[in-house]
Every structure is written in C-alpha cells, then in structure tokens.
C-alpha cells in the first residue's frame, strides 16, 4: 500500500517536470548554426526561447561572431534553401527542440536610403553639368553658353524634377521592407543611372542638337505624357506607403483609392512601374534622342522583371488576389 502511494507520488512529480504535449513554451531550445558551404559548426546557442525570432537569433549569433552583423546574415533551414525572414518564429519552423540552421554571409551591407540617395543625386548633378555646358565638355567657345531651343530647357526641367521627386520620396515616402542591400550593388546601380544620365545629357544639350521632327506639337504631347505619368507614379507610391504602417513589414493587397491615378491597380499589380516607363517614353518622344529611348527600353525590361516577381509573390501570398491583374501592362504582360 505504501509502495503504491510512493509510486503514484513519483509519477506526479515526473509529470511536473515534463512539459505537456504541445506546450513548448516551458522549455528552452538548442540552436546549432553551421556554415552553409563547409558545414563547419560556427555557433551553438543554448537556452533559446521557443518564441524567439530569427532576428533575435541573428543578434545572439553576432555576439560570438561580431564580424557578421545581423544585416550580413542569411539563416536558412537548408544549405541551398531560401533565407528565413527576420520575423519568423523558431517554434513555428519545421525543426525540433534542437534546431540546425545554415549561415551564409551576404557581404558588406549598405542602407537602401543611402543607395537611393546616391543613385538619384548623381544623375541630377551630372545632367546639370551638361546643361550649363561647363568647361571641357563641348569646347571652350561653348563654355557656360545656353541652348536656343526651348525643348532643351524643358528637358532639363523634366529630368531635374524627376530625380528631385525621387530623392524626396526616398526621404519622406518610401518604407523599405529590407533595411539594407549588398554594398557591391551600389556600384552597379550607379554605373547604370549615372552613365545613362551622362549619355543622354551629352546629346540633348549638345550645341548641334536638333529639335524634334514635329516641333512644338510633339513636345507638348510628350510633356503631357511625362507630367501625367509622374503624377501617377507619385500617387501609387503614396498608396503603397499607406498600406504599411511605420515600423511594420505588413503586406496587404493594394487596391484603387479615390485618386483616379490609382485606378490602374484594377488592371496591373505594379502601376508605379507602368507610370515610370510611361514617363521615360514621354521624355524620349519630347527629346527625340536615341540614348533616352535605349534607357527607356532597358528600364522597361528591368521593371518588367521586378513586376513579374512581385506579381508572383502576390499570387502566392494572397488567395483572393484579383485574377484580372497583369504584372505591368494591362492584359499583355
């Protein structure tokens, strides 16, 4: 009788020590971090809370490897798999109480704000150097001279307005889901933006520049296209900003608002790219300049790739995503 009572007491004591099935909040987890390439063990974290986020695990990893700050880290469940999101919670991942994560170094990082400011300030300043015809560009007799063609001055105003708008949007409108990007990308991006800006500006502001074939009518039509598309692009950026509260990474389906420029959301997933391409097409028609046309074409190809990626992401994430939308061009692409 006494032995039976003691045995029951022992079982009750063991039950107190063992967490109930499905209740992982009362235990801590072990996290092993391996190099994704060499499989070398880099770090072993014990007593990790099951509700810890990947961002918190990155910070713990940084304590033992300060050279790999959180923004440089890519943690994944499989060496060749996708990176886990910072907001992913440990206990929600398909791992046991001893989890193995694989680390990849993303390289030195730079903030998106810095990247955008650098990308956009360059073309603005470079274009103005050609517009004012500073020395050593067109020859001494043209130093600081002014074009006699109205379209050249309009082109400078439009080009400057576009990049000033981008700079202001970067500072006051855009909310970035990722805080940083690889430092190496800034050199590639700046080469693209700065190089094309110089190429376009050289021909548009050249002393021998020839105005558009159809004169003022062509310029007025193109200017109208440019202005409308710039307003549309800005309207879409404001609508997208309002979808995401400050400090949040919440993603929602974008829908048209009372602003008519946002009604393009009825037909495409990324109308900001549609308007952006439209702006440069208008600028190309206005200036009738081949480098501008090539810049528009390259930009269209790149923005189409981005738009298709975002469209696929929307379809994957939202089951009720509007089926009539195309990525960038209504009903076509």
pLDDT by residue (tens digit) across 203-222? 999 999 999 999 999 999 99
Q: What is the mean pLDDT of residues 252-279?
A: 96
**Domain identity same for 35 and 97:** yes
Q: What mean pLDDT, rounded, does the chain reach?
A: 89
3-state secondary structure the chain: CHHHHHHHHHHHHHHHHCCCCCCCCCCCEEEEEEECCCCCEEEEEEEECCCCEHHHHHHHHHHHCCCCCHHHEEEECCCCCCCCCCCCEHHHCCCCCEEEEEEEECCCEEEHHHHHHHHHHHHHHHHHHHHCCCCCCCCHHHCCCCCCCHHHHHHHHHHHHHHHHHHHHHHHCCCCCCCEEECHHHHHHHHHHHHHHHHHHHHHCCCCCCCCCCHHHHHHHHHHHHHHHHHHHHHHHHHHHHHCCCCCCCCCCCCCCCCHHHHHHHCECCHHHHHHHHHHHHHHHHHCCHHHHHHHHHHHHHHHHHHHHHHHHHHHHCCCCCCCCECCCCCCC
19 pLDDT band, cuts 50/70/90, is: very low
**Domain identity same for 95 and 134:** no
Which of 89, 107, 125 is the endpoint of a domain?
Answer: 107
**Domain identity same for 94 and 117:** no
Give the number of other CB atoms < 10 A from CB of residue 190: 17
Can you give the pLDDT at residue 301?
Answer: 97
**Domain identity same for 100 and 156:** no
Can you give the pLDDT at residue 70?
Answer: 87
Q: How many domains does the chain have?
A: 2
Can you give the pLDDT at residue 2?
Answer: 53
**Domain identity same for 64 and 187:** no
**Domain identity same for 247 and 102:** no
**Domain identity same for 166 and 308:** yes
Asked if 280 contacts 299 with a C-beta cutoff of 8 angstroms, the reply is yes
Asked if 261 contacts 255 with a C-beta cutoff of 8 angstroms, the reply is no
Can you give the pLDDT at residue 204?
Answer: 98
**Domain identity same for 309 and 174:** yes
**Domain identity same for 275 and 313:** yes
pLDDT digits (tens, 9 = 90+) for 68-93: 888 888 899 888 888 888 888 888 88
Query: Does residue 156 fall inside a structural domain?
Result: yes
Query: Does residue 333 fall inside a structural domain?
Result: no
* pLDDT-above-90 percentage for the chain: 59
pLDDT at 323 exceeding the cut of 50:
yes
Query: Does residue 7 fall inside a structural domain?
Result: no
- Report the distance separating Cα 148 and Cα 153, nearest Å: 9
pLDDT at 17 exceeding the cut of 50:
no
pLDDT digits (tens, 9 = 90+) for 81-132: 888 888 888 888 888 788 889 999 888 888 889 999 999 999 999 999 999 9
Give the number of other CB atoms < 10 A from CB of residue 295: 21
CATH number assigned to the domain comprising residue 92: 3.10.20.90
* pLDDT-above-70 percentage for the chain: 90
Asked if 327 contacts 300 with a C-beta cutoff of 8 angstroms, the reply is no
18 pLDDT band, cuts 50/70/90, is: very low
Can you give the pLDDT at residue 82?
Answer: 87
**Domain identity same for 96 and 227:** no
Q: Which of 70-74, 194-198, 276-280 has the lowest mean pLDDT?
A: 70-74
Q: What is the mean pLDDT of residues 149-163?
A: 98
Asked if 103 contacts 41 with a C-beta cutoff of 8 angstroms, the reply is no
Query: Does residue 128 fall inside a structural domain?
Result: yes
pTM for the model stands at 0.83
Query: Does residue 175 fall inside a structural domain?
Result: yes
**Domain identity same for 49 and 169:** no
Query: Does residue 9 fall inside a structural domain?
Result: no
What residues make up the domain containing 190? Answer: 110-317
**Domain identity same for 54 and 98:** yes
Can you give the pLDDT at residue 159?
Answer: 98
Q: What is the mean pLDDT of residues 140-157?
A: 95
pLDDT digits (tens, 9 = 90+) for 40-65: 989 888 888 888 888 888 998 888 88
Number of residues that make up the chain:
333
């Amino acid at each position: 009788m006494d032995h039976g009572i003691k045995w029951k007491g022992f079982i009750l004591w063991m039950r107190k020590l063992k967490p109930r099935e499905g209740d992982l909040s009362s235990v801590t987890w072990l996290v092993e971090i391996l190099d994704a390439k060499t499989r070398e063990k880099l770090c072993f974290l014990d007593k990790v809370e099951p509700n810890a986020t990947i961002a918190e695990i990155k910070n713990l990893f940084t304590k033992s490897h300060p050279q790999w700050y959180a923004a440089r880290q890519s943690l994944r469940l499989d060496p060749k798999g996708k990176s886990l999101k910072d907001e992913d919670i440990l206990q929600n991942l398909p791992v046991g109480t001893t989890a193995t994560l694989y680390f990849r170094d993303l390289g030195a990082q730079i903030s998106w704000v810095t990247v955008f400011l650098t990308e956009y300030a360059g073309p603005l300043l470079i274009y103005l150097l050609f517009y004012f015809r500073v020395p050593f560009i067109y020859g001494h007799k043209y130093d600081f001279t002014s074009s006699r063609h109205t379209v050249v001055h309009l082109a400078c105003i439009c080009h400057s307005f576009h990049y000033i708008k981008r700079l202001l949007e970067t500072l006051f409108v855009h909310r970035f889901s990722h805080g940083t990007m690889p430092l190496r990308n800034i050199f590639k991006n700046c080469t693209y933006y700065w190089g094309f800006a110089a190429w376009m500006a050289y021909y548009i502001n050249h002393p021998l520049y020839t105005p558009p074939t159809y004169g003022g009518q062509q310029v007025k039509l193109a200017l109208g296209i440019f202005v409308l598309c710039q307003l549309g692009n800005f309207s879409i950026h404001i609508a997208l900003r309002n979808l995401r509260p400050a400090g949040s990474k919440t993603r929602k389906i974008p829908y048209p608002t009372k602003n008519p420029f946002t009604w393009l959301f009825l037909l495409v997933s990324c109308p900001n790219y549609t308007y952006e391409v439209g702006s440069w097409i208008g600028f190309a028609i206005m200036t009738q300049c081949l480098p501008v046309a090539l810049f528009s074409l390259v930009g269209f190809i790149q923005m189409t790739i981005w738009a298709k990626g975002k469209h696929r992401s929307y379809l994957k994430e939202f089951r009720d995503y509007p089926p009539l939308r195309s990525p960038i061009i209504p009903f076509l692409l």
